[in-house]
Amino acid sequence: MNHFRLLVTAAAAAIIGSLFIAAPANAQDTDPVDDPWDDTIFLTFDDGPGGSYTDEILAVLAENDAQATFFLLGENAQRDPARSQAVLEAGHAIGNHTWDHPNMTTLTRAEMDSQIGTAQTLLEGYGAEVNCFRPPYGAYNTEVNNAIAAAGLQRQMWNVDTEDWSRPGVDAIVDDLLGATPGDVVLMHDGGGDRSQTVEALEIALPQLAEQGYKFGITPKCSPA
Ligand SMILES: [Zn+2]
């Protein structure tokens, strides 16, 4: 056996070996209950409720059979109980995004506990089962993590940032949405300003993603038990 043929044989064995190893995992992936990440994109909306933008986002989610996670601010939710309830009644999950959006890493531990606790009490008072927390600006450190854990919450970050808060144009937000793949957690905003670009981008992108077979769900960390 010459050297080249030996290499080919070794490569073939490696490929056959990897196929064999991959087989059980693939078999498991055919069960949608056991593998919720298979076809699901996790849309998340921060800083709400955000007035009529929240209404419009709820409408486009409903049109596309989509569930999502809304990280409400305590002070906004207190001002707008009706929309907070509407998010819940539409079958979405609510996450805790603090009372009034401080950078948590600048706070004392007592202030952290107060930001999380006051929002949590209000949201639970609306009947929400709140299991997750998203730090404003994505800012956290060990002490913030400790405060989140002490409140019995899980930290939920994101891996796709549409930067919709900066109003980059509908097309830019659509491109980010269409680039999402299963398991991605996508950051958007229904509150904190003019979110008409966010609404319009969702109206364009969600039907296309649904057409491709994607589903839109609540993140596992935020899902009610
Ligand atoms: Zn925020």
Straight-line distance from the first to the last Cα atom of the chain, in angstroms, rounded to the nearest whole number: 61
**Do residues 112 and 144 touch, judged by C-beta distance below 8 A?**
yes
Instruction: Give 14 Cα–ligand 1 centroid separation in angstroms.
Output: 48
**Do residues 129 and 91 touch, judged by C-beta distance below 8 A?**
no
Q: What is the pLDDT of residues 116-131, one digit of tens each?
A: 999 999 999 999 999 9
Compute and round to an integer the Cα radius of gyration of the chain: 21
| pLDDT at residue 1 tops 80 | no
154 by DSSP, 3-state: which? strand
Q: What is the pLDDT of residues 14-37, one digit of tens each?
A: 444 443 333 333 333 333 334 556
pLDDT of residue 120: 98
% residues pLDDT > 70 (the chain)? 84
% residues pLDDT > 90 (the chain)? 83
Number of H helices, E strands in the chain: 8, 8
pLDDT bucket at 38, cuts 50 / 70 / 90: confident
| Helices 196-211 and 52-63, axial angle in degrees (round to 10) | 10
Would you call 189 a catalytic residue per the annotation?
A: yes
Largest CA distance in the chain: 79
Block residue for tokens 């008072």: 125
Q: Which of 85, 53, 75, 81 is nearest to 165 (CA)?
A: 53
Span 31-60, average pLDDT: 85
Instruction: Give 137 Cα–ligand 1 centroid separation in angstroms.
Output: 6
Q: What is the pLDDT of residues 197-219, one digit of tens each?
A: 999 999 999 999 999 999 999 99
Span 155-178, average pLDDT: 98
> How many angstroms separate the CA atoms of 198 and 46, rounded?
12
Span 85-90, average pLDDT: 98
| Helices 196-211 and 170-178, axial angle in degrees (round to 10) | 30
> How many angstroms separate the CA atoms of 39 and 174, rounded?
19
> How many angstroms separate the CA atoms of 15 and 143, rounded?
47
Q: What is the pLDDT of residues 99-114, one digit of tens each?
A: 999 999 999 999 999 9
Please pick, among 38, 46, 113, 190, the residue that the annotation labels catalytic: 46
CATH topology of domain 40-216: TIM Barrel (3.20.20)
CA atoms within 13 A on the CB side of 208: 13
Q: Which of 224, 206, 214, 164 is nearest to 60 (CA)?
A: 206
| Helices 142-150 and 109-125, axial angle in degrees (round to 10) | 40
> How many angstroms separate the CA atoms of 55 and 198, rounded?
12
- Structural domain boundaries of the chain? 40-216
| pLDDT at residue 135 tops 80 | yes
Please pick, among 92, 97, 101, 189, the residue that the annotation labels catalytic: 189
Would you call 46 a catalytic residue per the annotation?
A: yes
Instruction: Give 166 Cα–ligand 1 centroid separation in angstroms.
Output: 12
More confident residue, 33 or 160: 160
> How many angstroms separate the CA atoms of 192 and 58, rounded?
16
pLDDT of residue 139: 98
> How many angstroms separate the CA atoms of 9 and 27, rounded?
27
pLDDT of residue 29: 35
- Mean pLDDT, the chain, integer: 88
**Do residues 71 and 46 touch, judged by C-beta distance below 8 A?**
yes
Instruction: Give 212 Cα–ligand 1 centroid separation in angstroms.
Output: 30
